[in-house]
Amino acid sequence: MNHMFTFAVRRVLLAGLIIVVLALLAACEDTPPASEPVVDTAATPAAGAATTTTGGAPAPSILPTATPTPTPLAGRIVLWHSWAEGDADALAAILAAYQQAEPGVTVDTLFVAYPDLAQAYADAVAGGSGPDLVLAPNWWLGDLATAGVIQPLDDLVPAADLDSYWPAALGNFVWQGRLYGLPTNYELVSVFVNRSLADPATLPPTLDGWLAQAQQAPTLGIGLYNNLYHLAWGLSAYGARLFDDNGVAVIDQGGDAAGYLAWLRTLSETPGSYVDPDYGMLLDRFKKGEFAYFVDGPWAIDELRGVFGDALVVTPLPAGPAGPAQPWLSADGVLMNPALAPAQQQIALSFARFLTTAESGALIAGLGKRLPAARNTALGDDALLTGFAQQAINAQPMPALPEMAQAWGYGGDMFVKAVDGAADPAATVRETAALINDATGK
């Protein structure tokens, strides 16, 4: 094509375009007729159009901002545990559910026999290896924290997320003011009732009323296992506590621990009732229908359900003169290796939190027949687990103190002396506090 001809054509077209633009500008200066509404285009911007302020600066977009898609987790973690039988079934189901939720994460598990797990884990972590997570009871918490082989979680789990657990279960994993684990399940004592001997609805609301009922007939008797864990609930009912927050034994200061010991002695002298350190004897007598009430934990459910069937009920302990009975609650939970890199920490924490949700708790309850620590867990139609969960409303964490090593012996002896001997309850309480504090250097 002739380039000069092309250039001439372009000049003609350009001149025509300029004339059209000038005509349009002149038309825009005319005021529109009054009968035609003036549309406020700022109030109704076209879809996708950017708006401006009066100063000419771009105005904030009124369109919704897209939410960033979280990066899927990817990696591998290792979990050590000693869960067997129904517990193992629950864990397998939880692992399968987690795989669906986080397909990029592989969880390898290793079963270690319960007596060996704590030492094996501590040795492995101290040696620079070990699993990412371990399932462990709160009994081991003090030793593992002192050895520096578990990770504090205070800065890793938002405080608001901790409200989903039973407070006493979560408290089991606090050591010297720091949180070291998330609870999976818990145990505590409550009252088993043989409905063929006593109507649970007639259980008196107070300990004095309960004692008076037991005195009416041997078949309305009460069986109590005489050890510290099984009897600690009565201290709070009488306004007493074993330790203060600094680990000083204060059972002789405030409240009426001596009054509780006197109540136990009177009960033990009541025909058909027992406060005895022979657990097997108590369990056997209850199974034979010799007394109506037995204070024990969920570990006895399967055996007692096999004997009583639907005649077995669990109901909360009666209150004392100072308030509700608060049994010690002990828990199992998941602990983290402190040597993990931040990215590995994130993956491990993802599974730890999944393991302790209400959804996982339903599997722990349904397959493991355990009490899940997530307090919004649906327990299904298991009325016995529901009974223990009602008791958990009034429970306290088992003291997580180094001084408990001395309390088990001296505290247990206090109950035995008061019930089986002629020891004065008040003097026995004072002696117990002194023995514990001497042994712990307080």
Residues of the chain scoring pLDDT < 70:
1-70
Residue-averaged pLDDT of the chain: 87
- Cα torsion for 216, 222, 226, 228, to the nearest 10°? -110
Query: Strand 222-225 vs strand 274-276: parallel, antiparallel, or unpaired?
Result: parallel
Q: What is the pLDDT of residue 227?
A: 96
Q: What is the pLDDT of residue 83?
A: 98
| Separation of alpha carbons 401 and 283, rounded Å | 31
> How many CB atoms within 10 Å of residue 441?
7
Q: What is the pLDDT of residue 71?
A: 79
Query: For the structural domain made of 190-326+402-440, what CATH number should be given?
Result: 3.40.190.10
Q: What is the pLDDT of residue 67?
A: 52
CATH class belonging to 75-187+330-397: alpha beta
Q: What is the pLDDT of residue 29?
A: 40
What the block records as the tokens of 388 is: 């223990």
| Separation of alpha carbons 289 and 308, rounded Å | 9
Q: What is the pLDDT of residue 59?
A: 45
Q: What is the pLDDT of residue 153?
A: 98
In order of 282, 322, 405, the CA distances from 326 in angstroms are 22, 11, 21
Of 152, 88, 170, nearest in space to 370 by CA: 88
| b/e code 380-416 from CB counts within 10 Å (16+ = b) | eebebbebbbebbebbbbbbbbebbebbeebbbebbb
What the block records as the tokens of 381 is: 């139609």
Q: What is the pLDDT of residue 422?
A: 82
Rg value, the chain, Cα: 35
Task: Give me the residue spans of the domains in the chain.
Answer: 75-187+330-397, 190-326+402-440
Q: What is the pLDDT of residue 380?
A: 87
Of 290, 287, 266, 268, nearest in space to 277 by CA: 268
Give per-residue pLDDT as tens, 29-48. 443 333 333 333 333 333 33
pTM of the model: 0.82
Exposure on the CB side of residue 156, measured as CA atoms within 13 A: 23
> How many CB atoms within 10 Å of residue 343?
11
